[in-house]
Amino acid sequence: MANAASMREEAETVAVKALAFVAADPELLPRFLAITGIEANSIRRAAAEPGFLAGVLQFILAHEPTLLRFAEETGTPPAAVGKALRALPLGDDDHERST
């Protein structure tokens, strides 16, 4: 279990970097907010919701130029973003979902 917890923690770190990257970009932030339907003043509350961090990574992964710029600016290998997504709740079908 320690390995899974460690992977989750690393994934959350990548996702938080991704959120900071999106929030600091005057073109990406409005697009992210429009796609997610989240208001700018609600991001902190939304970030606590299951699946939010996975959604941030999905947003980064959905546009290769954004992924590559994120990778370059943060020193995060592009493959690490997909790996992080899979380690987060709602990042793939291997995690339990409440229905």
Q: Please state the pTM of the whole predicted model.
A: 0.86
What tokens were used for 55? 């959604």
Side-chain-side CA neighbours of 73 within 13 Å: the count stands at 15
Residue-by-residue DSSP string for 83-95: HHHHHSTTSSTTS
Tell me which residue has tokens 């999106």.
Answer: 22
pLDDT in tens, 6-40: 899 999 999 999 999 999 999 999 999 999 999 98
Question: Tell me, what's the pLDDT at 1?
Answer: 53
Question: Tell me, what's the pLDDT at 91?
Answer: 80
pLDDT in tens, 44-89: 888 888 899 999 999 999 999 999 999 999 999 999 999 999 999 8
